[in-house]
Amino acid sequence: MNNIKINIAINAYILYYIRTLEFPPRRWNMVGKREVLMDTMENTHAQDRRDYYGVYHVFNKSISGYKIFNNLHEYKRMIHLMHYYQHEGHHFKFSYVMKTGKHDTSLFVGKKKLVEIVAYCLMPTHVHFILMPDKENGITRFMNVVLNSYTRYFNIKHRRKGPLWQSRSKKILIETDEQLIHLTRYIHLNPVTAYLVDTPEAWEASSYREYLSQNGNRICAYDELFQVNPRAYKEFVDDTISYQRERTRIKKVILE
C-alpha cells in the first residue's frame, strides 16, 4: 500500500512539473511577440484567406518509426518536391523535370498555389508543416502528391515496396497569432530537442534558416502573416532550447 501511495505521489509531482513547463521560464507576452514579429496580420487579403481557409499544423510519421530520410540528398529531394507541388497545373511529374534538368523558377510562372508554406521541419521519421491553403482541399491535395511522390522515389532507390507513411496526415487548426509563433519555434527546435544538432540553424532540413535570412531565396511565405525580426526571432527560439528538451524528457518518463 505504501509503495502505491509513493508511486501516486511521484506521478502527481511529474504531472505538476509538466504543467509548469507549458510555458518557458522567460514568458513572451504580446509585447515580446511583437519584438519577434514586428507587425502581424496587416495584409487584408491574407487575413481574408486565413479567416476563410485557416492556418494549420500538418504532420505525418513513417510506419513503425522507419527512417525515411537517410542523408542530406533525401532531405533536399523532399524540399524540392514541396516547392514543386505547392503549385498546381504541372504537365510533368517532378522525376521527369529532374531528369531533364529544367527545375527552375520558370516552372512556376502563371501557376497558382495549392498552399502557402509558412514553416516546415523534416525529421528522420516524421515531418512537420505549417500551411495556409490557397484552394479548397489545398492541404490534402498538396500532402497527398508530395508524400506519394517521395514514397515512389524512396522505394525505387531502396528497392522496397509498400507504404512509407503511417496514415492520412493529421491537421490541426491554429487559432491565434500566439499559437502560430510558438508553433514555428516548436517545429524549428525539433532537431535540437532530439539531440540531432546543438542549434536549430545547424539543421538544413527546416525553414529556420529562412527565418534568419533576409534574402529572397526561400520557399516559405510568411510575410503576409507576420514580419520576422531575425535577431529577435533567434533569441526567441534559443531562449527555450533547454526547456523544450526537458519537457520532452519528462514526457518520455511518464509514458514509460
Asked if residue 14 is part of any domain, the answer here is no
Measured distance CA(15)–CA(253) in Å, rounded: 11
Asked if residue 144 is part of any domain, the answer here is yes
Asked if residue 209 is part of any domain, the answer here is yes
Residue-wise pLDDT for 192-237, tens only, equals 999 999 999 999 999 999 999 866 678 898 888 888 899 999 999 9
pLDDT higher than threshold 60 for residue 9: no
Asked if residue 5 is part of any domain, the answer here is no
Average pLDDT of 156-172? 92
Classify each residue of 150-169 as buried b or exposed e, where b means 16 or more C-beta atoms within 10 Å of its C-beta: bbebbeeeeeeeeebbbeeb
Residue-wise pLDDT for 133-160, tens only, equals 988 889 999 999 999 999 999 999 999 9
Domain count, the chain: 1
The cell for 248 is 520532452
Q: Which helix (H) or strand (E) covers residue 250, if one does?
A: helix 241-255
Phi, psi of 40 (to 5 degrees): -110, 145
Measured distance CA(194)–CA(100) in Å, rounded: 37
Domain that holds residue 224: 27-239
Q: How confident is the model at residue 118 (pLDDT cuts 50, 70, 90)?
A: very high
Asked if residue 1 is part of any domain, the answer here is no
Instruction: Tell if the pTM clears 0.85, that is, is over it.
Output: no
What is residue 249's predicted lDDT score, i.e. its pLDDT?
76
Residue-wise pLDDT for 96-106, tens only, equals 566 565 555 55
What is residue 15's predicted lDDT score, i.e. its pLDDT?
45
Q: Which helix (H) or strand (E) covers residue 126, if one does?
A: strand 126-133
Residue-wise pLDDT for 37-92, tens only, equals 544 444 444 555 555 578 999 999 999 889 999 999 999 999 999 998 898 876 56
Q: Which residues is 60 bridged to in the sheet?
A: 127
CATH number at residue 230: 3.30.70.1290
Measured distance CA(97)–CA(112) in Å, rounded: 18
Asked if residue 43 is part of any domain, the answer here is yes
Asked if residue 6 is part of any domain, the answer here is no
Asked if residue 11 is part of any domain, the answer here is no
